């Protein structure tokens, strides 16, 4: 008869293990395995101790010994699976978990572990079922709710994911990871205020949780709080030095802040940490495009596509910086992706805009028009754009404009340091070219498209906050505080956010020293230029429907007339067509309006080394040229007179 250890010794061993007194447990387990080499329990505990203390090779051998002694012990197979998983033998781990389940179908833990392995192997549907089985066997299995939520989140089943994370938190209100994941899902659902609060709770519970800081950075980025996002990305990197995605997202945030050199450094670091990081290559290529380094842009975006041939955004980005002379390999790849029914709407949007550009290069305007239509329809659907919301905004602006003008600040009593130059108009009207011309002057710094007027002033113009002298002074103070960081020691700073035309009444009242340039362009050319453009920012929903573009142009035109005739606002009207036809004459008039001495560099904006991240980044690197306002006529046969009608309004 086989000799067995006393039950009291087995109970003591188990107690040591459960209380995590691993030194005592290990010493006792080793003694028992020598005295009773054919009794399995001590071997099983010893294997678990070796695994928990990082001696994985030894753990594998001991776990195998445990199984040899008791081949029907499901828990022993589960333990062996855990050890295999630790040393990266994923398929062996999977086999061990499946054997544990076969031996004991009601054992919840191997289902959970198998779910994690299946997810790591990309078998997400099977992983989902495994986590659900765990929960059915053990309804209080907190980690299964969380991990199932992550799978649902990754498959865009966000409402279901939110439910899972909330269940995990309900079972453990201190589960920081579940709070962080919940915040990520809420962000994707557009519930940003909730997401920020939940993410803050994750950080409160676990201050050194790098992923929570990364998630908070993403939320603050979406909220437009770029400084806050930068802070949290840097914190995530400090906590996790090899956090490639945090370096990438920090790069994007710094790029938006106009800190282009720092952005390049962070994208490069992300690639150094993860040489297969296609997103970072794509972003690095885009910033090189903004800096006018077109060959470097092509190299990096092409690298992104080499790593991920189905990367739709990179396909589109490459079409923008190359000229299609034939239906090349990239063209055929985009066609294939366009026909792939499994592609997401977001990807199909990029591919359609990319194919439209390719067909336009090849002179097939009918097919280009077809893909422009498809791309725009998808983008409008994704943005859930409603034109009536813009109508309401314009109505509110007009309603409260005269109240704002009543509290106009007295220019003589204001402290002045720098002079802002607002370049406004419809998007694609030529505002980027005008900024490049003006900022070629030695006394002018270019800030690009700044969101600060809207950020600090929209509640005022909508009448959602108190309008008085104090509130206008507060707006002024906030705006100048941000603008100063772009001055670079210059006395004049350009802000070329086109849609600032909506806030001219506020600008004139709160920033009376400001110069305002309204750039006009041929209406048909302007509307078509908006319709054919994919804008990376989400605030131009009107541009993805030709009727909406035309209607928005009329809102713009009527508001500009209102500012001048009803409110008495003063600004400089500049014709884009006249500027490119009579470049020197019009440029001299423009510089004279600004009160600046003449600088001949203003006649060579193509030599301006400022970074340009707008849709015109390539055009402004070339000499000023004529004819762009006629290109829309290539599409006239397919437009059914829509753009011709705009001249009748």
In order of 574, 592, 621, the CA distances from 582 in angstroms are: 12, 16, 19
Residues 611-647: tens digit of each pLDDT: 665 555 555 545 665 667 788 889 989 988 888 777 6
Q: How far is CA 256 from CA 182, 260, 621, in A?
A: 27, 8, 20
- 518-544 tens-digit pLDDT: 999 999 999 999 999 999 888 899 999
Q: How confident is the model at residue 29 (pLDDT cuts 50, 70, 90)?
A: confident
pTM of the model: 0.83
Query: What is the full DSSP assignment across 374-442?
Result: HHHHHHHHHHT--HHHHHHHHHHHHHHHHHHHHT---GGGS--S-EEEEEESSTTSSHHHHHHHHTTST
Q: Do 112 and 144 contact (CB within 8 A), yes or no? A: yes
Domain residue spans in the chain? 7-254, 309-383, 387-648
pLDDT in tens, 537-565: 888 999 999 999 999 999 999 999 999 99
- Of the candidate ranges 47-56, 93-102, 277-286, 579-588, the one whose mean pLDDT is the lowest: 47-56
Q: Which is more confident, 18 or 583?
A: 583
The per-residue pLDDT for 272 is: 97
Q: Is the pLDDT of residue 469 over 80?
A: yes
DSSP for residue 632 = G
Asked if residue 480 lies in contact with residue 486, where contact means CB atoms within 8 angstroms, the answer is no
Q: What CATH number labels 7-254?
A: 1.25.40.10
Q: What is the pLDDT of residue 574?
A: 96
433-447, 573-587, 598-612: which range is least confident on average?
A: 598-612
Closest C-alpha among 499, 414, 486, 380 to residue 451: 499
Q: Please report the pLDDT score of residue 1 as a whole number.
A: 45
DSSP, residue by residue, 324-369: -SS--HHHHHHHHHHH-TTS-HHHHHHHHHHHHHHHHHTT-HHHHH
The pLDDT assigned to 30 comes to 83
CATH code of the domain occupying 387-648: 3.40.50.300
Tell me, what DSSP letter sits at residue 523? Answer: H
Quickly tell me which residue has 């000229």 as its tokens.
323
CA 382 – CA 376 distance, rounded (Å): 10
Residue 43 in this model has a pLDDT that exceeds 90: no
Q: Note the helical H segments in 441-545.
A: 452-461, 469-483, 504-510, 523-531
Is residue 601 predicted with pLDDT exceeding 50?
Answer: yes
In whole angstroms, what is the distance from residue 627 CA to residue 608 CA? 22
Hey, what are 533's tokens?
A: 């453009």
| Domains 7-254 and 387-648 are alike in CATH topology | no
Mean pLDDT across the chain: 91
pLDDT value of position 156 = 86
Tell me how far apart the alpha carbons of residues 462 and 457 are, in angstroms, rounded to a whole number.
9
Residue 421: pLDDT band by 50, 70, 90 thresholds?
Answer: very high
């Amino acid at each position: 008869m086989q000799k067995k250890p006393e039950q009291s010794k087995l109970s003591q061993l188990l107690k040591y293990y459960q209380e995590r007194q691993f030194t005592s447990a290990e010493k006792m387990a080793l003694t028992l395995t020598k005295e009773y080499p054919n009794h399995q329990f001590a071997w099983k505990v010893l294997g678990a101790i070796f695994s928990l203390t990082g001696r994985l090779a030894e753990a594998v051998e001991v776990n195998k010994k445990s199984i040899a002694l008791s081949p029907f012990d499901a828990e022993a197979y589960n333990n062996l699976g855990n050890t295999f998983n630790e040393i990266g033998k994923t398929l062996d781990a999977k086999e061990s978990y499946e054997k544990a389940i076969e031996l004991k179908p009601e054992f919840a833990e191997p289902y959970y572990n198998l779910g994690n392995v299946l997810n790591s192997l990309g078998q997400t549907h099977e992983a989902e079922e495994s986590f659900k089985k765990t929960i059915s066997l053990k309804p209080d299995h907190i980690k299964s709710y969380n991990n199932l939520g992550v799978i649902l989140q990754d498959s865009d089943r966000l409402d279901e994911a939110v439910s899972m994370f909330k269940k995990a938190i309900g079972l453990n209100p201190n589960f920081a990871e579940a709070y962080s994941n919940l915040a990520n899902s809420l962000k994707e659902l557009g519930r940003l205020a909730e997401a920020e609060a939940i993410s803050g709770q994750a950080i409160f519970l676990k201050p050194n949780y790098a992923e929570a800081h990364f998630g908070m950075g993403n939320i603050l980025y979406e909220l437009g709080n770029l400084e806050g996002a930068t802070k949290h990305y840097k914190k995530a990197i400090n906590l996790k030095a090899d956090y490639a995605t945090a370096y990438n997202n920090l790069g994007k945030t710094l790029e938006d802040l106009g800190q282009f050199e720092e952005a390049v450094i962070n994208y490069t670091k992300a690639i150094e940490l993860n040489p297969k990081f296609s997103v970072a290559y794509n972003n690095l290529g885009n910033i090189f495009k903004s800096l006018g380094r077109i060959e470097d842009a092509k190299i990096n975006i092409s690298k992104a596509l080499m790593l991920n041939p189905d990367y739709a955004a990179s396909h589109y980005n490459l079409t923008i910086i190359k000229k299609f002379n034939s239906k090349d390999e990239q063209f055929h790849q985009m066609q294939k992706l366009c026909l792939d029914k499994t592609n997401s709407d977001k990807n199909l949007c990029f591919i359609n805009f990319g194919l439209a550009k390719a067909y336009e290069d090849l002179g097939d305007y009918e097919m280009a028009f077809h893909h422009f239509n498809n791309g725009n329809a998808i983008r409008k659907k994704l943005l859930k754009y409603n034109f009536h919301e813009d109508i309401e905004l314009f109505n509110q602006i007009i309603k409260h404009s005269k109240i704002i003008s009543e509290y106009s600040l007295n220019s003589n009593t204001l402290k002045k340091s720098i002079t802002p130059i607002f370049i406004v108009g419809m998007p694609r009207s030529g505002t980027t070219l005008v900024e490049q011309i003006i900022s070629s002057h030695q006394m002018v710094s270019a800030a690009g498209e700044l969101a600060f007027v809207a950020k600090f002033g929209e509640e005022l113009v909508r009448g959602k906050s108190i309008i008085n002298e104090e509130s206008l002074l507060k707006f002024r103070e906030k705006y100048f505080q941000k603008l100063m960081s772009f001055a670079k020691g210059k006395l004049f700073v350009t802000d070329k956010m086109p849609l600032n035309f909506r806030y001219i009444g506020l600008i004139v009242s709160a920033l009376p020293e400001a110069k305002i340039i309204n750039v006009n362009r041929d209406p048909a050319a302007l509307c078509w230029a908006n319709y054919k453009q994919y804008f990376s920012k989400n605030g131009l929903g009107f541009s993805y429907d030709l009727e909406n573009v035309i209607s928005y142009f009329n809102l713009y035109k009527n508001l500009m007339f209102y500012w001048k005739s009803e409110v008495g606002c003063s600004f400089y009207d500049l014709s884009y067509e006249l500027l490119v036809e009579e470049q020197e004459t019009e440029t001299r008039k423009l510089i004279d309006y600004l009160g600046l001495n003449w600088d001949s560099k203003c006649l060579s904006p193509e030599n301006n080394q400022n970074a340009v991240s707008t849709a015109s980044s390539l055009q402004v690197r070339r000499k000023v040229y004529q004819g762009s306002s006629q290109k829309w006529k290539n599409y006239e046969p397919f437009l059914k007179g829509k753009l011709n009608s705009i001249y009748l309004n």
